[in-house]
Amino acid sequence: MGVGREPAGDSLATVHRLRALTVDLHLLGAEFARVHGLHPTDVRALICLLDADRGGRTATPGWLAQELHLNSASVTALVDRMEKAGHVRRERDPGDRRRVLLAVTPAAMELGWSFFGPVIANASAALDGYSDAERATVVKFLGDMRSAIEAARPGGDVER
């Protein structure tokens, strides 16, 4: 595919459906932010922190800055705002008291489930209709799409 050319047929239709899904998810996240008085970046931060927790990853302000593509001053303001709202707490790393760890509060988790739970349940139910091989293809596709987006960023080719 040359510069400025669109992919052919089915590939383009799939990319457009993926874009439409992305827009729908973005609008849902914006509605959650609006209803709960959050900045859209706060929602992205909560998602990152929840994903880190689910994946057993240690979340620090520096890590969050990298994930959100923000500078340290912006992340400090973000964490301050989220801590004040009761969504995030800072904890000292028991192994290195100089290091700060970030964790989503149980109240923030409950808030997220109350809003996004039905979407997650519907998506899970839809995936239950796929075979193991089909789900594996979906997982591969989504990973490939994330890699394609990351590679297209200025300074791309960064592993996530």
Q: Which domain CATH number covers 76? A: 1.10.10.10
Give a yes or no: residue 50 inside a domain.
Answer: yes
Give a yes or no: residue 48 inside a domain.
Answer: yes
Give a yes or no: residue 90 inside a domain.
Answer: yes
C-alpha separations of 62 from 9, 70, 94, 95, 130 in Å = 42, 9, 18, 17, 38
30: domain range?
A: 24-125
CA 74/CA 100 separation, integer angstroms: 16
pLDDT digits (tens, 9 = 90+) for 21-78: 999 999 999 999 999 999 999 999 999 999 999 999 999 999 999 999 999 999 999 9
Q: How many domains does the chain have?
A: 1
Give a yes or no: residue 9 inside a domain.
Answer: no
pLDDT of residue 71: 96
Give a yes or no: residue 141 inside a domain.
Answer: no
Mean pLDDT, the chain, as a whole number? 90
pLDDT digits (tens, 9 = 90+) for 101-149: 999 999 999 999 999 999 999 999 999 999 999 999 999 999 999 999 9
Residue 26 neighbours by CB distance under 10 Å: 12
CA angle 156, 159, 160 (to 5 degrees): 110
